[in-house]
Amino acid sequence: MRKRNKLQKFAELSEFPNVYENFDAKRPVLSAPGGTAVDMAGHWAARHFGNDRPITLELACGRGEYTLGLARLYPHRNFIGVDIKGARIWKGANMALQENLTNAAFLRTRIELIERFIGPGEVSEIWITFPDPFLRDSKVNRRLTSPRFLEAYRRLLATGGTVHLKTDSPELYEFTLETLATFPGARILTQNADIYAGPLPLPELALKTFYENMHLSEGKTIKYVGFGLGAALAH
Distance, in Å, from the CA atom of 159 to the CA atom of 161, rounded to the nearest integer, reads 5
The active-site residue out of 24, 39, 132, 194 is 132
What strands lie across the sheet with 78-83, from one edge to the other?
37-38, 30-31, 19-21, 104-108, 78-83, 55-59, 123-129, 157-167, 223-228, 187-192
User: What's the angle, vertex CA 205, arms to CA 107 and CA 84, rounded to 5?
Assistant: 20
Based on the residue annotation, tell me whether 168 is a catalytic residue of this protein.
no
Query: Do residues 89 and 65 make contact, with C-beta atoms less than 8 angstroms apart?
Result: no
Q: Which residues are catalytic?
A: 132
